[in-house]
Amino acid sequence: MAKGRIPVDSARVDETEISDEEYEATATSQGDLRAELLTRPAARARYEQTLAEINRHQATLGQVRRARALAQATIAELTGMNQSEVSKLERRSDLLISTLRKFIEATGGELHLVANYPEGSIELCVPWGPSGADDDDDVLPIDVRDGASA
């Protein structure tokens, strides 16, 4: 089936007849045709594989932030970094898990670490970073806060 030739679209919009009905369907085409396509097992399997690959490329920190319409300055404020640090962080090829956790939480998410093994998956605890980090308010353990308010 994959051997079929890709159709060539050489239609000129100013020389082609297009019905009103076709013009009305522009906003619903994607949903309709996706539902139709995914009823075919071969198409569905390939669609899921390709989408997973695309997500691996696209779900970078900068993309995640932009997709949630947040500015680097907002992340900087929420994490106690300055904007240039956030900018560098988004380009970094490696980083502390605690820094990643702060970033994800600043975008309104929750970080989970999952290790997949042939026998199954295990969720690891997410390190909280060095104690005595700059903004101590946020790293004080709960019981100390309780003690202080009692």
Partner 1 sequence: MEIEWHPLFRRWFEELCKTTDEIAADVMALLNALEQYGTALGDPESHPVVTSQCRLRSLRRTPPTEVTPHATTPPVIRVLYGFVDDGAQIKAVALLAGDKTISKSRWYPPAVQEAERRLVSLSGRKGWTIRKLYVPT
Tell me: does residue 84 bind partner 1 (CB under 8 A).
no
Matching residue, tokens 């695309």: 54
* Least distance (Å) between residue 135 CB and partner 1: 29
Distance CA 67, CA 9 (A): 32
Element counts in the chain: helices (H) and strands (E): 9, 2
Task: Please return the burial class of 58, using the count of CB atoms within 10 Å of its CB with bins 0-12, 13-18 and 19+.
Answer: exposed
Longest CA pairwise span in the chain (Å): 80
* Least distance (Å) between residue 110 CB and partner 1: 19
Please say which residue, 57 or 130, places its beta carbon nearer to partner 1. Answer: 57
Tell me: does residue 67 bind partner 1 (CB under 8 A).
yes
* Least distance (Å) between residue 124 CB and partner 1: 25
Distance CA 54, CA 58 (A): 6
Beta strands in the chain (DSSP E): 113-117, 120-124
In the shown chain, the binding pattern of residues 4 to 43 toward partner 1, with x for contact by CB under 8 A and - for none, equals: xxxxxxxxxxx-x-x---xx-xxx-xx--xx-xxx-x-xx
* Least distance (Å) between residue 104 CB and partner 1: 16
Residue ranges in contact with partner 1 by CB under 8 A: 1-14, 16, 18, 22-23, 25-27, 29-30, 33-34, 36-38, 40, 42-47, 49-51, 53-58, 62-63, 66-67
